[in-house]
Structure 1
Amino acid sequence: MAKKAAVIIIVFIWICGSLLSLPNALISRAITYSYANGEKRTLCFLIWPDGIPGLSTFDYIYNIAILLLTYVLPMASMAFTYTMMARVLWGSKCIGEQSQLQQDFIRSKQKVVKMLIVVVVIFAICWLPYHCYFLYSYHSPEVANKQYVQHVYLAFYWLAMSNSMYNPMIYVWMNKK
């Protein structure tokens, strides 16, 4: 890939990311909830023009767009590109008798394929609960009134954000010599 094409792709990704997060900056509001036990919690919500989360069609469409653009599309692109890489890496064999060096080279390529599979699976595990939370809370709006909903959300949020720290760990763990 040419340097110019790489720069264009990077700029495009940054613009898309900025546009995708724009609603968070424009329509977020802090709302204080009072629970039956007297406890109060202040939560941040996107208050859409057509209503509050769980009742807003805009919110639902936004969450579906986030799901598609930040989970389904990356999963599909990783699955496709890693499958293509795996076919090339796993499928290439040496013809005839193989030296120890050639066997080691083939094994190292197969380890790369396994590592790519682990990266995709970890991404899927980390991000799926976060996206499911929003879909579930739209279809079951009463969940917003549950006492521990903020803890559940924060746990799912932490799990999703923690995905960034797992990749280096996977690379180190699976590249031991």
Structure 2
Amino acid sequence: MDLPSLTTLAVSTSTNTSVNNTLLPSATDVPDFLIERTWLKAMLISLYCIIFTLGCTGNCLVVYVVIRNKSMQTITNIFITNLAISDVMMCLLAVPFTPLSGLLQNWVFGEALCHIVPMTLGVSVHVSTLTSTAIAIDRYFVIVHPFKPRMKVFMCLLLIVSIWIISVSISLPLAIYQKVSWVQHEDAFICHEEWPKDTARQFFTVTSLILQYIVPCSIITFCYTKVSMKLHIRARTRIGTGTRTANRDELEMKRKRRTNKMLIAMVAIFVVCWLPLNLTHLTIEYKKKLPEGRYFLFVFFIAHVIAMSSTIYNPFLYAWMNENFKKEFKQVIPCLFRGGSGHLNGNASQYTTVDTQNTLVNRSPPKDRNGCGNETKALYDKEQGKVKLSVDNADT
């Protein structure tokens, strides 16, 4: 992803100065097409408010659902939780500061946030793409090479820590080369990038684009292509000798297909949402001069809104395409609003995951008047032929 552009534009006041005097048009070149149109500003602010609200609540709900239920803590779901955390971080920092600094035409948040906001935004986007790549690689080994040892939870957590360390390291220049400047003729402060050389900035731009967009997308495309081919081959082959075994394998195949469709949709949404903002920056970075400067601020905000909207789609995608997330959401939401109108019926929820070692089935009994209940877990070990039961309180 082209982070220098994103963070430079996201925290600068865009129309009243330029980055290194070359990237953005000056105030004398840009009539206030956006600033003078109150209805347009109101529309953009409303969109940002919707993104902020849905992005924070939806992704926090995803994190809570995975943390509260051990049966949801699969390798894929742990990676999904990491994605949700990075999206929350983006909502808290990128979404509010961008419209405020751009529409106010003044950076009023101080020197510290001028360094923190762009770096945090860069970290968030890097974490999202690297985590999506890790998910794709994990699915590749699970489906294409099913007899190889699966990734353990400890290794998954270690990989997530590594992703954050790498993301912070790559994004560090975004904090180092930020500064707050006073523009006297505009009577305003600006937060902008100031690199020692233009070549250094361009090198960082191209490197970021390769490491965070081209390489991950290539790996993800390869992994999911191989996964789809493998699932297609399996679908044409009769699996299992008995009727019950065949039915079980068919259900498992459908579940894996649905999961992979959801993961592919996640990646596709991310790539499509961030494409306009990347193209906007590439135009600025290499053309140096904007052909339609009077519309630039408006075009930038539209591209930025589309990019930020990528944070709100995933929770809806999980609820739509993943039965376990859907059932957990239905349980959790009434618990968060006890005494409200939301109330679940008495049907038991069931989650099933199948691997070569054991089968885990979670059953929840009828809910109490608050829509919450106890959770019963049954673990069947095929090797020992035993069933272990445990009861957890959903309120704890």
Counting aligned pairs with the same residue, the percent is: 29
Alignment correspondent of 2:283: 136
- Among 220, 224, 228, the residue aligned to 1:86: 228
How far the C-alpha of 1:48 sits from its partner, in A, is: 0.3
Residue by residue over 1:99-128, the C-alpha shift from the partner in whole angstroms, topping out at 9 and shown as x without a partner, is: 777655544443334333322221210122
Partner of 1:64: 206
Residue 33 to residue 90, structure 1, CA distance change in 2 (3 Å): farther
Measured in 1, the distance between the counterparts of 2:157 and 2:255 equals: 31
CA spacing shift, 1:107–1:2, aligned 2, 3 Å: closer
Q: 1:28 aligns with which of 169, 178, 182?
A: 178
Asked if 2 retains the 8 angstrom alpha-carbon contact of 1:29 and 1:46, the reply is: yes
Which of 111, 116, 129 aligns to 2:263? It is 116
Alignment-derived partner of residue 165 in structure 1: 312
Flag the 1:41–1:65 CA change in 2: closer, same or farther, 3 A.
Answer: farther
Counterpart CA distance in 2 for 1:41 and 1:150 is 17
Instruction: Describe the SS at the equivalent of 1:29.
Output: strand
Q: Which amino acid aligns with 2:204?
A: Y
Answering whether residue 163 of structure 2 is matched by residue 13 of structure 1, we say yes
Take 1:129 and 1:65, find their aligned partners in 2: how far apart are those partners?
A: 19
1:22 CA displacement: 1.1
Mapped to 1, the partners of 2:155 and 2:174 lie a distance apart of 30
Look up the equivalent residue of 1:123 and give its one-letter code: F
> Which secondary structure state, in structure 1, belongs to the residue aligned with residue 290 of structure 2?
helix
SS in 2 for 1:48: coil
Instruction: Provide the secondary structure at the position in 1 that maps to 2:294.
Output: coil
- Three-state SS of the structure 1 residue aligned to 2:160 is helix
SS of equivalent to 1:92? helix
**TM value normalised by structure 1:** 0.73
| Deviation (angstroms), 1:33 | 6.7
Equivalenced residue count is 169
Deviation at 1:88?
3.2
Deviations 1:4-55 (A, max 9, x none): 4334322221111111221121111245679xxx9777543211002xxxxx
| 1:133 partner amino acid | T
**Alignment pair present for 1:155 and 2:297:** no
AA aligned to 2:258 is K
The answer for unaligned runs of 5 or more in structure 1 is 51-55
Distance in 2 separating the partners of 1:86 and 1:127? 25
| Residue type of the alignment partner of 2:169 | L
Separation in 2 of the partners of 1:109 and 1:31? 53
Contact 1:29 / 1:47 at 8 angstroms: preserved in 2? yes
CA RMSD in angstroms comes to 3.4
Whose helix proportion is higher, 1 or 2?
A: 1
> In structure 2, the residue corresponding to 1:6 is in which secondary structure?
helix
Provide the rounded CA distance (Å) in 2 between the counterparts of 1:152 and 1:126. Answer: 14
Query: 1:138 and 1:124, CA in 2 relative to 1: closer, same or farther beyond 3 A?
Result: same
Greater shift after overlay, 69-78 or 106-115?
Answer: 106-115
Larger radius of gyration: 2
With over 3 angstroms needed to count, the CA separation of the structure-2 counterparts of 1:89 and 1:43, relative to structure 1, is farther
Query: Secondary structure at the residue paired with 2:196?
Result: coil
Give 1:53's aligned residue: none
